[in-house]
Structure 1
């Protein structure tokens, strides 16, 4: 009975829109455009890119901010604390150009006298104090020694202070950053050139070629990088050349293995068979088809390799196997600062902050690139 009560006018045929059915709702994007859109949504990766860009710019222009050279020594300016224009009154930042220490004594005057002896001062001309007393009457006095005024340097500023030989740490820090960035780009170039080519050739040709090439890699893997560096130092002098040779000998092995695994997975695919059927040479198949399809993995692995190479150089310089003084690298600067850590911690703090920012930024950017270049992560 319900069917007889329905009005036929309620049923309207759907309109056919042939043009609308062919319309593409999502914009046409290439692989790299889609990856860039997803990378921009990753705030951490963008932050890492900005930090690396700023550090790269400062490594170029930083040493030219003042007239001090990286090896200009002046023992009269030894161990000056950081001092920045406009921050002389912001004492808690530690950039006001003063040295400070705290003493407790039975009286305020006794504590002040110990502070004056600490900074070899006879009076309070260049000293200021913060005095606190406890319930028992003991005095806790924090003294600030205005060393710039004591040395007659009221109009001079050293943003990162000076080291034990009176050299400007701001200039030396950014010059040392150049060495770290050189190591970074060297490691990337070695991975891109040697590692990619070696791994691609080994996987593509397979058989006896792959067996021989993989046995060579196994031999190189069994030799630690530190042993290779020591051997280079026995032949050459410690320095950037020995580090460069050591990275060239063993730095590409990880990339070669990753590329080999990717090429082994792709070389039997239909698009490779089609290219071979059309008469493409082995070199063209590798360079135009196989390697581009592994490029995402190559970029991500390179970004993870770079901070490891930077730390490797800093470690070698820190233990005395890398660059030697008076040459500046972040490793040598941290080593110099470590010797004066308890008395003048700023000598080590600024190079340590820069190398930490470089390594963290590269790792965050690598994480972002890994997500952006993986098609499985597409929304």
Structure 2
């Protein structure tokens, strides 16, 4: 038996000049290729959609409300959330009623505590929902649960989707206006960090030598100063407000961006395309702005995306401890601070701004992770 292959099974391929050099893969730019890979990341798309919705609500949310930012009525203070169509579903907590449990040795004492708590002359709006007799064997006290409808007690026919705060102001309007202020502070701080950090890190790495040594020692000094100390000093010098917070965030916030850009420029400045540009007579400014910085744009965008939620959180932290925005200005931090004071009695005052801030933090971090993979050429399939 011969081991030679049967020549009849093989057919000579045709040599077609029109398709022999044809490229089947479509020609895509860097941004087109990155967008295609970003769309495949469901988590990043989810984060992007959440952020777009939050930004739209921050811009347009107060328009949907019939209550202004300065509308204040103490008789409408601490109105619980009430939304059309959901008011008949009690377990959602959006029916406008205040549910509270009261414990005592007997049901009569529990009822007295409930009536003393609400302090309303018209008791028809207080309804017993759950009653539990005391159990002497287990030592469990008597428990009564009441639902108080302040909308009915005050004769209010309007809906407050997020309820009202202790001064009777609409929380829906204040949450989205506070979100707008927090996003403004974060975006401005991130833009300044990016502008200063990219320029500083690029110049330091490109010129190198003594220039790089001096500039890096300055960064090390700034990094060694606690950020909170810088913020307190700035607020002591300036009046507490948006400008003081932005300046405080940008004094030391650009150092991380500068270090990242410096590392990338150090890696790129010895490559052939930089040598070719220098040989052709390109100036230092042109080499930095046209060749080196554009090749680090991916890391710059990713780092900026991580900077924005950090700035929002830091602004909220400052407002929470009383060093941020002052009344009547509002932000997510001031709203959470106001809600924390009434957490045990009216938790909804803090829950809604806390949910918005959590969604912003999660959205930016998920989107930044997706951008990190999409903008990295090594991740191309």
Alignment of 1:1-379 (within 5 A): 1-2=1-2, 9-104=8-103, 111-121=110-120, 124-133=123-132, 140-153=143-156, 155-379=157-381
| Distance of aligned partners of 1:106 and 1:318 in 2 relative to their CA distance in 1, 3 Å threshold | closer
Of stretches 212-221 and 330-339 in structure 1, the one that deviates more from structure 2 is 212-221
Per the TM alignment, residue 133 of structure 1 is displaced from its structure 2 partner at its CA by 4.6
SS of the counterpart of 2:229? helix
| Distance of aligned partners of 1:8 and 1:244 in 2 relative to their CA distance in 1, 3 Å threshold | closer
| Distance of aligned partners of 1:112 and 1:199 in 2 relative to their CA distance in 1, 3 Å threshold | same
SS of the counterpart of 2:86? coil
The whole-number CA distance in structure 2 between the counterparts of 1:90 and 1:40 is 37
The whole-number CA distance in structure 2 between the counterparts of 1:198 and 1:211 is 13
TM-score w.r.t. the length of structure 1 is: 0.93
Moved over 6 A (4+): none
Of stretches 29-38 and 242-251 in structure 1, the one that deviates more from structure 2 is 242-251
Is the 8 Å Cα contact of residues 131 and 139 (structure 1) preserved in structure 2? Answer: no
SS of the counterpart of 2:265? helix
SS of the counterpart of 1:72? coil
The whole-number CA distance in structure 1 between the counterparts of 2:235 and 2:193 is 23
- For structure 2, the residue ranges without an aligned partner over 5 or more in a row are none
Of stretches 168-177 and 289-298 in structure 1, the one that deviates more from structure 2 is 168-177
The alignment of Structure 1 onto Structure 2 pairs a total of residues equal to 377
The whole-number CA distance in structure 1 between the counterparts of 2:245 and 2:333 is 13
| Distance of aligned partners of 1:141 and 1:270 in 2 relative to their CA distance in 1, 3 Å threshold | same
Per the TM alignment, residue 204 of structure 1 is displaced from its structure 2 partner at its CA by 0.5
TM-score w.r.t. the length of structure 2 is: 0.93
Instruction: Give the superposed CA RMSD.
Output: 2.1
Per the TM alignment, residue 8 of structure 1 is displaced from its structure 2 partner at its CA by 5.2
The whole-number CA distance in structure 1 between the counterparts of 2:51 and 2:142 is 47
Instruction: Render the CA deviation track for 1:154-197: whole Å, top value 9, x for unaligned.
Output: x1111111111111111111111111111221122112211101
SS of the counterpart of 1:73? coil
| Distance of aligned partners of 1:119 and 1:374 in 2 relative to their CA distance in 1, 3 Å threshold | same
The whole-number CA distance in structure 2 between the counterparts of 1:337 and 1:7 is 85
- For structure 1, the residue ranges without an aligned partner over 5 or more in a row are none
SS of the counterpart of 1:167? coil
The whole-number CA distance in structure 1 between the counterparts of 2:9 and 2:353 is 78
Is the 8 Å Cα contact of residues 184 and 307 (structure 1) preserved in structure 2? Answer: yes
The whole-number CA distance in structure 2 between the counterparts of 1:320 and 1:10 is 85
The whole-number CA distance in structure 2 between the counterparts of 1:8 and 1:159 is 81
| Distance of aligned partners of 1:336 and 1:135 in 2 relative to their CA distance in 1, 3 Å threshold | closer
| Distance of aligned partners of 1:15 and 1:164 in 2 relative to their CA distance in 1, 3 Å threshold | same
Is the 8 Å Cα contact of residues 73 and 165 (structure 1) preserved in structure 2? Answer: yes
Is the 8 Å Cα contact of residues 106 and 134 (structure 2) preserved in structure 1? Answer: no
